[in-house]
Structures are given as C-alpha cells and as structure tokens.
Amino acid sequence: MTTTAHPDIIATQDGVVHVTKDRVEMSGQKMGPITHLHVERERLAALTWQNFDVKRMGATIGAEIRGVDITTDLPQPVIDELRQSLLEYKVIFFRDQPLTPERHVAFAKRFGQLEIHPFIPSNTGVPELVRFEKSFDVKGYENTWHFDVTWRETPSMGAVLHAVKVPECGGDTLFSDMYAAYEGLPESVRDRIDSLDAEHDFVKAFGRQVPDDMKVDMRAKYPLVIHPLVARHPETGRQHLFNNPIFMNRVLGVSPEESAELMTLLWRESSNVEYQCRFQWEDDSVAFWDNRACQHYASSDYWPEIRIMERASIIGTRPSR
C-alpha cells in the first residue's frame, strides 16, 4: 500500500508504538504498555466451565457469569465451580437476580460463615445483610480504592453485593487486581515491602459513629491489628498487595515519612486502569468479589439520586505471608 506524501509528515512509522521501554514517564505520570499482564490474560482466556458461560471484562480481572440463577438452591457442583471462577477472575458478576434478603444470605452462606458489621446498619430482620442507602441526605464516601474490613483480625474472604435500586447511570463500581499491582512494582520496591507490616484501625473510617461511652468497649473488642503489606492468598498461593489507606494508620518499622511515601506509592499502583474492570449496575445485578485478590472503588457521581445496595460478607482468615 502506498501513501500520499505531505510536507508536514516526517515519520515513517508510529513513533509512540516503537518506544523500546515498556513504561516511560511524562510529566510525572507513567505511560506505555503494562506487558506483565499478558501471561494472566492468556491464562484466563483458555479457561472453560461446565455449568455456565462467562464474558470476561478486564485484562486480568472480572467476568460476567451467564446461565446461573443464584436465587435458587444451586447444586454443590455449581457452587464449587463458582468458587473456582471467583478465584480465577477475582470478581464475578450476575445480571437479573431478584434476590430477597433471605435468598441473598442463603447464597452467600454457601461460601462460608457470614460477618456481622458493627458500624453499618443491617437490613431489617437479616443481621448478616448490611444496607447502603444513598440519597440527597446520605452521600457516598466509598470512592477510594480499598479492601473491606481490614481492621478485623480476619478480614472478609469476599462479599456478595446486590443492587436493589440504582440510578439510570452513574454509581458504577470498579475493581482492581492486586496480584497485577504487586507484580507491576519494580523489583526493588517488592524487595522493600515484602517483609513490612502495616497497622489497621477501624477508627479512621468509623470512629465518629462510636458514642463516647462505648469507645473503650469498642477498642477492646476491635483492637489495632497488624497485617502484612504483601500477603499470600490462602487458596491460590499468589502474592498480592494488601495496602488499604481507608483503615491503615502506618507502615511499621520505617520512619513516618517513609510510611507516608510507601502508602502513597502503593495506592497509586492500585489505581492503574490496566489492572481494572468497571461494572455498570442495573437493578438486581450482583457482584461477588474476592476481598483478598482485589480492591474496589464505588464511583460517587450520582448524587442526589437514590442508590440502594445490600451486601453479605463472608468471614476470611488472618492474612499471612
């Protein structure tokens, strides 16, 4: 194929594409292909499933499950395969699942014992189900990358979130692959953080909700906890970042300045778009995420419209290296 010459065109090929480095920095921001994702992307592309079909959503994270009705009492082989798909894709999604509170809890219980959350109100009559009801008067503050309840000694294994009522647009939830985030760090940074721990505390996010006369009792019930900054997934055996600015006070064993630097660096790594998938909610959509393998971010762009979600969280194990 020939091209028409023009005096303003001096290039013979796309110069940006042929930059030799994988990542380059421009005005303090990194750009360029994140090449380490290809191994996981290709591995996920080769997976097949017996009991449902999937539509993948991100390079290494997220899949919509099709052909399963989670409002019913599913056979154990289907549950087992859903559990495996959760481990592989880090977060799985379902459409058109009109869950009652009872059926929501029943489905979540197939994957483990459920949490009771002391700081978020439950759905009436179903204590394992917390309700997030946003409106003109109650605004959403979940729009930052985080894991759930890392202030617990044993944070959630995962969570099942059901959309009861959502705006026509806005209020999406994003998920970020923490395996990919860890693997994307320079080796020198990985070596630096592999042996570090961080202090987590409920007070940062929920302290204002605790009445003065209950502060001592709540601190005794939920003391400061220490978790590794890099944890090893108890089922997959893979290392992942376990940083959480919402509940982390500090990185231990380093100066306050280095702690702040590391927390910022790791938070930024979590926000790479290439590590993410984005889910646009509809009424009766469901997301089920592995709270060890991914962080999430609830976009707060729908105020003053109403957004009502209900979540059942599954108790996990203490994070370890």
Q: Which one of 83, 146, 200, 292 is the catalytic residue?
A: 146
**What is the three-class DSSP state of 306?**
coil
Work out the average pLDDT over 156-178: 97
Q: Which one of 117, 162, 307, 311 is the catalytic residue?
A: 311
Please tell me the total count of domains within the chain: 1
Give yes or no: 146 in active site: yes
Taking only the tens place, the pLDDT of each residue in 78-135 is 999 999 999 999 999 999 999 999 999 999 999 999 999 998 888 778 999 999 988 8
Give yes or no: 296 in active site: yes
Cα→Cα distances 121→25, 215, 216, Å: 45, 18, 21
Percentage of the chain surpassing pLDDT 90?
74
How far apart CA 200 and CA 231 sit, in angstroms, is: 14
Is 1 part of a structural domain of the chain? no
Label residue 124 exposed, middle or buried (CB < 10 Å: 0-12, 13-18, 19+). exposed
Is 30 part of a structural domain of the chain? no
Is 149 part of a structural domain of the chain? yes
Give yes or no: 177 in active site: no
Is 11 part of a structural domain of the chain? no
Write out the residue range of the structural domain in which residue 269 sits.
35-315
Q: Alpha helix locations (H) across the chain?
A: 37-45, 76-89, 101-109, 178-184, 187-193, 203-206, 215-221, 256-270
Work out the average pLDDT over 183-197: 96
For residue 12, the model assigns a pLDDT of 64
Is 320 part of a structural domain of the chain? no
Q: Which one of 104, 162, 296, 307 is the catalytic residue?
A: 296
Q: Which one of 83, 104, 117, 148 is the catalytic residue?
A: 148
In the chain the first and final C-alpha atoms are separated, in Å, by 56
pLDDT for 286 beyond 80:
yes
What CATH number does the domain containing 113 carry? 3.60.130.10
How far apart CA 153 and CA 223 sit, in angstroms, is: 9
For residue 165, the model assigns a pLDDT of 96
Write phi, then psi, for 172 (nearest 5 degrees). Answer: -65, 160
Q: Is 179:293 a contact under the CB 8 Å cutoff?
A: yes
For residue 270, the model assigns a pLDDT of 85
Work out the average pLDDT over 50-78: 98
Give yes or no: 162 in active site: no
